[in-house]
Amino acid sequence: MQTKELMKYLLLIAVVLLVATATITYVWESSAEGTFIIHLPEAPEPYGGILLKPPVTSEGPIYRITGVTVTVVSSDGVTEVTPELTYTDGVIESIYIPIGGTGPYTIEGRYVVKEEKIIDYSKYPWDVYVGGEKLTMPIEASRNIASEIALRIKENHIYIIPALLLLTAGLTAGIYLTRPGGVVYQQAPAAAGKKCKWCRVCLIFLKIDSRKKTGEYLGDEYVRKLMKVFTRLNKLWEKCCIRFVPCIKEGKVIAQYLNPDKEVSIPLGDGSITTPKGKKIKVTLYAKINLKKLFKGDGHNEIELEGGEVKTKVKIVAKGTLDKAYKTPDGRTIPEGTEVPSDEVSKEADAIAKNTKEEAKKKFFELARDASKGEVKKERKINIAKALQELATQSGYGEECVKIFILELKRPGGRGEYGYALIPGRTVIMKERGLLEPPTYLLAHELGHSLSLEHVQERTNVMNPEVNGGDITKKQCGKAYDNCKKDGLKHPKEDKCGNGEDCLRKYEALAKAEELEEEVQHLKSEYRRALKDKKDLEKEKGEVEKTKKEEEALLKALLREERAIKKKEEGHRREPQRFKDWVKKQLEKYQSKLKSHEKKLNKYKKLAEKSSYARKRVKEYKGKIARTKALMKVYEKRKAAVEEQRIKVEKLKQRLEEIKERIGKLGDRAKELKKAIPAKEKEVKEWKRKAGKLKRK
């Protein structure tokens, strides 16, 4: 039995492999993804464009490119450029990238290559034409494991398919000979849940305010709000195995004020000098400025920003350091990084400025020459993120962790919430409202930039420029995770930033305990409300029962009166009518006789007396008839009143039943709440115990 089942499973596997191999060989189109990066320095004249030409052999094009996307990174931000493509026989022959401006630029491109066989693309660089010059550009292309396997199968399908056919035929024959029957398909067990090897990023929060002292803490209440931000943020990024934790110093979360009233030196660029004696000098230009001047408002924490830069007048200074250790003629060795005297820097910079034909290089060394003699004041664009990073570094916060600078950031025209981040980098600028208020998409977006992610057009993606949602793709996760792993300065270190994970877990446990305590209070409140409602309903029930008794008593009285009226009416109804008819006949008879014998009044005296008697009788019975009619009217009114009272009593009975039903439900709900409250209180104690353990650690 076991052998037969094994053969069935092997046959199933062979059939699946045969179908998969045939599909890969004749249907599957394999592809690889490639990237290229071009760095263009600042030029004296605008770049006209860049022409890229993939190599072609006698057998045809090496790169069968099917699609290209290009992104240009400049000081103005990230821009997606649509390249102009030239096709030959359906394959891209050349790529033209239109670029304006003088730079500097970093051009990042991605392309997709259709593959029919395995090629080592590193052996086939591209030709790049920039400003009339031809350059050679190395190319990176990678295929996933599925494409690699597919290409290997295509190359060896003439051996694989016959072998699988023979195996399938042999297994089918074996199953038939042992016992005829069908192949049993068994569903594979579900894969285990994803386990993360977490990459942690530490965050420091610095609120800009000139009225506060640098290093002054923001307070426990503010930190509690930030911990809620971490919870929401980590929920968005957990699918990428990236976790953000607070930076800890001396047991406290680093959430502090940063006073901008400080002069900082911001690097503007550097150049290299090689003297005739072989000394290598690195010359760096710095912009010196008190950052307080860049901000507005009472606390100098407001700034209007577009593109991350502001134009202002700064003091420019030059500094020269040895780029390599130098051995003097007398045998002494001057170590690398030693500062070079300013007069020497000025002299060497002047020599280069006079001899170079490159306009950009000439301008740089002329400025370096002048700045090394003394401060030069010029108007320059200052990148606020870099300036704030320098302020933090020079204020003692170092380069570790991602700095979140909190200030009143505004767009020109005051359009919406706003944030800014270096791509990639360790600097994020956030408006306080966008930082603290849910759903934290804006902070997640800016931290995505910090982790090297660029803008995408998918509406609900967290990296959409409009920030409409919190979706993150698998590809984005991979890129962000790689950046996180490579940038070691983003990771929390025991000697620099403490272990924020325990602190975050403590706050999460306390937050959970607070949430449960609120739930307990809500349950208790609901329990008290249920008891009060029950008491009110019982009181209402008593009042309704009392009213019901009164109304029932009134109904009984009405019914008695109704019966009395009905009995009286029935006793007299026939008698008045009978007398009425008789009296009418008698009256007519006597009146007729009276008229005929009017002249004989004396003769018919007794008859006249009888006529008088009849008149009296008629009058008497007319009165009886009138009283009976009046009695009938009273009876009809009483009958309507009785019916109305019956309806009233019926409604009271119905109301009483509803109240009884509600009292029963409230009683049951009160019992449920009474049982639920101790369980919740126990859960609160457990979370507080966990928080206490973390605090002791």
Rounded percentage of the chain residues whose pLDDT exceeds 90: 15
Q: Which residue has the higher pLDDT, 48 or 358?
A: 358
**Confidence class for position 591, pLDDT limits 50, 70, 90:** low
Contacts 24+ apart (CB under 8 A), 176-182: 178/3, 178/4, 178/7, 179/4
CB 115 within 8 A of CB 32: yes
The pLDDT assigned to 185 comes to 27
Compute the Cα dihedral for 228, 230, 231, 236 and give only its sign.
positive
Residue 240 has pLDDT above 70, yes or no: yes
The pLDDT assigned to 405 comes to 94
Residue 684 has pLDDT above 50, yes or no: yes
From CA 116, how far away is CA 155, in angstroms rounded? Answer: 9
Task: From 412, 470, 413, select the one nearest 438 (Cα to Cα).
Answer: 470
Spacing of C-alpha 395 from chain mean position: 34
The pLDDT assigned to 453 comes to 94
From CA 622, how far away is CA 206, in angstroms rounded? Answer: 110
Residue 406 has pLDDT above 90, yes or no: yes
The pLDDT assigned to 450 comes to 92
The pLDDT assigned to 475 comes to 94
Q: What is the CA radius of gyration of the chain?
A: 49
- Per DSSP, 341 falls in state P
First-to-last C-alpha distance (Å) of the chain: 59
The pLDDT assigned to 25 comes to 60
Q: Please enumerate in sequence order all residues whose Cβ is within 8 A of that of 234, keeping only pairs 6 or more positions apart, or say none.
A: 243, 244
Q: Which residue has the higher pLDDT, 576 or 126?
A: 126
Residue 281 has pLDDT above 80, yes or no: yes
From CA 388, how far away is CA 378, in angstroms rounded? Answer: 20
Q: Output the six-digit token pair for 111.
A: 């392309």
Residue type, position 210, single letter: S
How buried is residue 89: exposed, middle or buried, by Cβ count under 10 Å (0-12/13-18/19+)? exposed
pLDDT in tens, 470-529: 999 999 999 999 999 998 888 888 777 777 888 888 887 877 777 777 777 877 777 677
Out of 25-34, 520-529, 563-572, 621-630, the most confident range is 520-529
Residue type, position 265, single letter: S
SS3 433: helix
Residue 73 has pLDDT above 60, yes or no: yes
The pLDDT assigned to 69 comes to 81
Residue 242 has pLDDT above 90, yes or no: yes
Residue 91 has pLDDT above 80, yes or no: no
For the chain, the average pLDDT equals 76
Compute the average pLDDT of residues 674-684.
Answer: 74
Residue 680 has pLDDT above 60, yes or no: yes
> In which residue are the tokens 């690889």 written?
32
Helix axes 157-178, 2-26, angle to 10 degrees: 150
Could you count the other beta carbons within 10 Å of the beta carbon of residue 290?
Answer: 13
CB 24 within 8 A of CB 153: yes
Cα 384 to Cα 73, 390, 401, distances in angstroms: 17, 10, 18
Q: Which residues are paired to 79 by β-bridges? A: 72
Compute the average pLDDT of residues 601-622.
Answer: 58
Residue type, position 223, single letter: V
Residue type, position 394, single letter: Q
Q: Which residue has the higher pLDDT, 167 or 553?
A: 553
Residue 657 has pLDDT above 50, yes or no: yes
Compute the average pLDDT of residues 426-445.
Answer: 88
Cα 600 to Cα 25, 587, 603, distances in angstroms: 146, 19, 5
Compute the average pLDDT of residues 25-42.
Answer: 69
From CA 554, how far away is CA 191, in angstroms rounded? Answer: 78
From CA 609, how far away is CA 612, in angstroms rounded? Answer: 5
From CA 132, how far away is CA 50, in angstroms rounded? Answer: 10
**For 637, what's the count of Cα atoms within 13 Å in the CB-facing half-sphere?**
6
Q: What is the CATH number of domain 13-149?
A: 2.60.40
Lowest mean pLDDT: which of 63-72, 150-159, 228-237, 657-666?
150-159
Could you count the other beta carbons within 10 Å of the beta carbon of residue 256?
Answer: 20
Helix axes 145-155, 2-26, angle to 10 degrees: 90
How buried is residue 526: exposed, middle or buried, by Cβ count under 10 Å (0-12/13-18/19+)? middle
Residue 89 has pLDDT above 80, yes or no: no
Residue 198 has pLDDT above 80, yes or no: yes
Q: Which residue has the higher pLDDT, 300 or 173?
A: 300
Q: Please enumerate in sequence order all residues whose Cβ is within 8 A of that of 579, keeping only pairs 6 or more positions apart, or say none.
A: 617, 621, 624
The pLDDT assigned to 187 comes to 28
Give the pairing type, strands 65-74 and 105-115.
Answer: antiparallel
> What is this structure's pTM?
0.52
**For 404, what's the count of Cα atoms within 13 Å in the CB-facing half-sphere?**
29
Q: DSSP letter string over 112-123? A: EEEESS---GGG
Query: Phi/psi of residue 274, each to 5°?
Result: -115, 115
The pLDDT assigned to 279 comes to 85
Residue 28 has pLDDT above 60, yes or no: no
Compute the average pLDDT of residues 561-575.
Answer: 55
> In which residue are the tokens 């991350």 written?
308
Compute the average pLDDT of residues 589-616.
Answer: 56
Compute the average pLDDT of residues 93-114.
Answer: 76
Compute the average pLDDT of residues 378-402.
Answer: 89
> Which alpha helices (H) appear in 54-93, and where do they start and end?
none
pLDDT in tens, 117-159: 666 666 777 777 776 677 777 666 666 566 666 656 666 656 6
From CA 477, how far away is CA 491, in angstroms rounded? Answer: 17
Q: DSSP letter string over 444-459? A: HHHHHHHTT------T
Q: Which residue has the higher pLDDT, 585 or 398?
A: 398
Q: Output the six-digit token pair for 509.
A: 């446990």
How buried is residue 228: exposed, middle or buried, by Cβ count under 10 Å (0-12/13-18/19+)? middle
**Confidence class for position 377, pLDDT limits 50, 70, 90:** confident
Helix axes 359-373, 342-355, angle to 10 degrees: 160
